[in-house]
């Protein structure tokens, strides 16, 4: 009989890995592989959602009822996610590229992400009227009384009005412009110290549209020279989305 080195009988040969252990190892490897796939998919989903940052390229339309008016809007022009639904509401916020007046898409994504291009976006807030007059209608009864006596020339035919320091509009300026056959144009602005510091909300104007809507829109002071085109385009955009 053979003996081992320590003098005992030769030990019975057994496999280094038992069948049970092998099954466990395979199960662990499969689990790790599954987790890797899940993490990869979750990371991709999270990355895509972070990149969207609340935007959507969906063009699904929603019916928005505000006061006496009915708007039909695509999801990609509605600024806030919680407003992308058919609903009766007090207001809806939009954002549009300028000058194309398009919503968010793969083609326009860079315009919504680049803060150095404030002149490429216009922001709209559409709400039920709370005042009987829009900004143009408030020119004579309100704004004229707070303007300084001396006015200056502004861009593209506008007239620039500084306001009296003791008024509620201190620090702002107004621009007015004549329009053939129409009431005068009026916009108020908080002008940046330099053109590089401009934002997409330097200037704001509100107009009445539809039966009972006020459209307040904001834009960069870099666009003041295009005031006629912006005003006409914004009003036309909203009117086209009113449902009779």
pLDDT score at 1: 47
The lowest-confidence range among 18-32, 70-84, 173-187, 226-240 is 18-32
**What is the average pLDDT value for the chain, to the nearest integer?**
87
Q: Over pLDDT 70: what percentage of the chain? A: 78
Report if pTM > 0.85. Answer: no
3-state secondary structure the chain: CCECCCCCECCCCCCCCCHHHHHHHHHHHHHHHHHHHHHHHHHHHHHHHHHHCCCCCCCCEEEEEECCEEEEEEHHHECCHHHCCCEECCEEEEEEECCCCCCCCCCCHHHHHCCCCHHHEEEEEEEECCCCCCCCCCCCCCHHHHEEEEEEECHHHCEEEEECCCCCCCCCEEEEEEECCEEEEEEEECCCCCHHHCCCCCEEEEEEECCCEEEEEEECHHHHHHHHHHHHHHHHHHHHCECC
pLDDT score at 211: 97
Residue 29: pLDDT band by 50, 70, 90 thresholds?
low
pLDDT score at 17: 52
Contacts with 174 (C-beta within 8 Å, 6 or more apart), sequence order: 143, 147, 160, 161, 163, 186, 187, 188, 189
In the predicted model, is pLDDT for residue 50 greater than 90?
no
Domain ranges of the chain: 16-52, 61-240
In the predicted model, is pLDDT for residue 4 greater than 50?
no
What whole-number distance in Å separates Cα of residue 179 and Cα of residue 156?
A: 12
For 87-132, how does the pLDDT look when each residue is reduced to its tens digit (9 = 90+)? 999 999 999 999 999 999 999 999 999 999 999 999 999 999 999 9
Q: Over pLDDT 90: what percentage of the chain? A: 78
For 64-98, how does the pLDDT look when each residue is reduced to its tens digit (9 = 90+)? 999 999 999 999 999 999 999 999 999 999 999 99
């Amino acid at each position: 009989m053979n003996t081992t080195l320590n003098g005992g009988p030769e030990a019975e040969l057994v496999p280094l890995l038992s069948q049970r252990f092998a099954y466990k190892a395979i199960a662990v490897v499969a689990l790790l592989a599954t987790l890797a796939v899940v993490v990869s998919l979750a990371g991709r989903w999270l990355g895509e959602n972070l990149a969207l940052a609340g935007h959507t390229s969906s063009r699904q339309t929603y019916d928005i009822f505000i006061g006496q008016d009915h708007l039909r809007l695509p999801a990609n022009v509605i600024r806030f996610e919680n407003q992308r639904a058919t609903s009766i509401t007090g207001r809806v916020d939009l954002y549009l590229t300028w000058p194309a007046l398009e919503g968010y898409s793969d083609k326009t994504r860079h315009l919504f992400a680049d803060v150095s291009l404030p002149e490429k976006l216009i922001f709209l807030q559409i709400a039920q009227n709370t005042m009987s007059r829009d900004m143009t209608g408030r020119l004579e009864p309100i704004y004229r009384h707070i303007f300084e006596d001396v006015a200056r020339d502004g861009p593209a035919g506008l007239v620039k009005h500084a306001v009296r320091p003791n008024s509620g509009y201190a620090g702002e300026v107004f621009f007015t412009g004549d329009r053939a056959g129409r009431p005068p144009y009026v916009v108020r602005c908080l002008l940046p110290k330099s053109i590089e510091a401009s934002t997409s909300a330097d200037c704001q104007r509100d107009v009445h549209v539809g039966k009972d809507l006020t459209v307040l829109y904001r834009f960069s002071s870099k666009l003041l020279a295009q005031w006629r085109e912006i005003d006409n385009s914004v009003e036309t955009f909203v009117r086209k989305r009113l449902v009779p």
